[in-house]
Amino acid sequence: MKFQLLKGMRDLTPEQAMKKQKVIGVIRSVFERYGFAPIETPALESFDMLSMKEGGDAIRREIYNFRDQGNREIGLRFDLTVPLARFMSNNPNLPKPFKRCAIGDVWRYDNPQAARWRQFTQADIDTIGSPSVMADAECVAAVIDALERVGLKDFKVRVNNRKLLENVLIGCGVNKERIFSVFRVIDKMDKIGKNGVDEELKKLGIDAGRIFSFLGKDISQLEKFQGCDELEEFSGAMESFGMKDRIKIDLALVRGLEYYTGNVFEILSSLSVSIGGGGRYDKMMAAYGAGDFPAVGISIGIDRLLELLPDDGKKTPAKVFIATIGDVQKEALSIASGLRKGGISTVAELIGRNIKKQLEYADSLKIPYVIVIGPDEVGKKTAKVRNMETRKEEDVAFADLPKYLG
């Protein structure tokens, strides 16, 4: 019997898993450098709680949900923001502003596509309790810093303001009750293009030409609209961070979810692939009973990010392979133990292959160094150390191996 992966799921090879862990480690260290404290929340939550998030039936349809043995309806988290709201409601006395980071898997029952799976990993940061645009800028700056440090070169963070966009639409004659319907159409701009948006707006009886005219204006031409001041303050803060060249004001950016209340962000790579986003959501905490606290956050899609980063070719964390000739396994294990205590990742021969096969094995895994020991080496307490890239060998005393290979 052969078992297949479930649709939308995937296995990671050692190369992929090590690359992912390395990237996550860098991102986590950057987030913590900005003062975002890690929290962890369960993968399973109450379905009633998960399905509260604004977004309508589309959100509910995406939730993996079932009844457990206690007949409770539960679901797998589909993002890390809703669990944060529940966490805040259960921990009301945390000092504010509360800055958190969370990195973990989420699940969405949607249609798998290129670089889009039903289980994927997000890296989030949020600041709860600060209404300042500086908090918005700090979240974006931390993400830009993290992306640069993992080696992503060509990307921009698109920025807009939901208040500004709403007031622009009202200025174009859109009825306030229809704002979110128009938002949803404009949000499709990247998928269906300007002509597609034009056609859909016409079906709603909306003058698309007038809207496009406003969306094409410079921010300085929209100062009379509420929300423009927040965008300008954000832009100034990013200049102070030395990162203004990484942002792009884009008045057509919507971010589909309705709970956003101010500045919104989307991280776009040079290949026009979105690798994350977020924004200000000042009303969401109160909706989950977490208090009337302003909030802002941004998320990186780790799996999409990995698709854009080059592979380093590593197939194992091991730096050293110990090859053996003859009955010297005890000595090999003793050397391996000493190297590991010195912080050097080490593997030793476990099958008893001939030396040629052992060297081929180490080469196939791209292990940088091979230590060769046999009865002669044990007698002299000196090993042959081969550099697998240059193929050069040196004799090194057993006692000096940790220092030589460190």
Check pLDDT > 80 for residue 367: yes
Last residue of a domain, one of 308, 329, 345: 308
Residue 196 is assigned to a structural domain of this protein = yes
**What local confidence, expressed as pLDDT, does residue 61 receive?**
85
Q: Are 290 and 346 in the same domain?
A: no
Q: In which band, very low, low, confident or very high, does the pLDDT at 256 lie, cut at 50, 70 and 90?
A: low
> What is the mean pLDDT of the segment spanning 55-70?
81
Residue 86 is assigned to a structural domain of this protein = yes
Which range, of 97-101, 135-139, 161-165, averages the lowest pLDDT?
A: 161-165
Residue 174 is assigned to a structural domain of this protein = yes
Q: In which band, very low, low, confident or very high, does the pLDDT at 341 lie, cut at 50, 70 and 90?
A: very high
- Sequence-separated (6 or more) residues with CB below 8 Å from residue 86: 41, 45, 49, 288, 290
For the chain, report the end-to-end CA distance as a whole number of angstroms.
Answer: 46
Q: In which band, very low, low, confident or very high, does the pLDDT at 331 lie, cut at 50, 70 and 90?
A: very high
CATH number of the CATH domain containing 344 = 3.40.50.800
Q: In which band, very low, low, confident or very high, does the pLDDT at 189 lie, cut at 50, 70 and 90?
A: confident
Q: Are 366 and 264 in the same domain?
A: no
Q: Are 108 and 148 in the same domain?
A: yes
Q: What is the spatial distance between Cα 393 and Cα 286, in angstroms, rounded to a whole number?
A: 67
**What local confidence, expressed as pLDDT, does residue 166 receive?**
87
Q: How many residues does the chain have?
A: 406
Place of tokens 């369960």: 42
Count of C-beta atoms within a 10 Å radius of residue 272: 7
Q: Are 250 and 297 in the same domain?
A: yes
Q: How many domains does the chain have?
A: 2
Q: Are 325 and 181 in the same domain?
A: no
Q: Are 165 and 298 in the same domain?
A: yes
Q: Are 214 and 82 in the same domain?
A: yes
Last residue of a domain, one of 286, 308, 330: 308
Sign for the pseudo-dihedral over CA of 377, 378, 379, 381: positive
Give me the helices (H) in 241-354, please. Answer: 284-287, 302-308, 329-341
In the DSSP assignment, the letter for residue 116 is B
Q: What is the pLDDT of residues 72-97, one digit of tens each?
A: 999 999 999 999 999 999 999 999 99
Residue 5 is assigned to a structural domain of this protein = no
Sort 216 into a burial class: Cβ within 10 Å, 0-12 / 13-18 / 19+: exposed
Q: In which band, very low, low, confident or very high, does the pLDDT at 292 lie, cut at 50, 70 and 90?
A: very high
Q: In which band, very low, low, confident or very high, does the pLDDT at 318 lie, cut at 50, 70 and 90?
A: very high
Q: What is the pLDDT of residues 351-366, one digit of tens each?
A: 999 999 999 999 999 9
Q: Are 233 and 297 in the same domain?
A: yes
Q: Are 324 and 291 in the same domain?
A: no
Q: What is the spatial distance between Cα 121 and Cα 123, in angstroms, rounded to a whole number?
A: 7
Q: In this structure, are residues 332 and 321 in contact, taking their beta carbons and an 8 Å threshold?
A: no
Q: Are 302 and 328 in the same domain?
A: no
Residue 315 is assigned to a structural domain of this protein = no
Show the domain range for 88: 14-308
**What local confidence, expressed as pLDDT, does residue 303 receive?**
95
Check pLDDT > 60 for residue 4: yes
Q: Are 205 and 153 in the same domain?
A: yes
Last residue of a domain, one of 308, 330, 362: 308
Phi-psi region of 69 (alpha: psi -120 to 50; beta: other; left: phi over 0): alpha
Q: In which band, very low, low, confident or very high, does the pLDDT at 177 lie, cut at 50, 70 and 90?
A: confident
Q: Which two tokens stand for residue 328?
A: 């010297």
φ, ψ dihedrals at 189, nearest 5°:
-50, -45
**What local confidence, expressed as pLDDT, does residue 58 receive?**
65
CA distances from 100 to 36, 45, 125, 262 (A): 5, 19, 6, 20
Q: Are 299 and 346 in the same domain?
A: no
> What is the mean pLDDT of the segment spanning 169-193?
80
| Amino acid of residue 128 | I
> What is the mean pLDDT of the segment spanning 308-318?
92
φ, ψ dihedrals at 396, nearest 5°:
-130, 130
CATH number of the CATH domain containing 300 = 3.30.930.10
Q: In which band, very low, low, confident or very high, does the pLDDT at 202 lie, cut at 50, 70 and 90?
A: confident
Residue 142 is assigned to a structural domain of this protein = yes
| Amino acid of residue 304 | R
Q: In which band, very low, low, confident or very high, does the pLDDT at 31 lie, cut at 50, 70 and 90?
A: very high
Residue 335 is assigned to a structural domain of this protein = yes
Q: In which band, very low, low, confident or very high, does the pLDDT at 269 lie, cut at 50, 70 and 90?
A: very high
**What local confidence, expressed as pLDDT, does residue 208 receive?**
78
**What local confidence, expressed as pLDDT, does residue 258 receive?**
75
Indicate the average pLDDT of the chain: 92
Q: What is the spatial distance between Cα 297 and Cα 278, in angstroms, rounded to a whole number?
A: 6
Residue 360 is assigned to a structural domain of this protein = yes
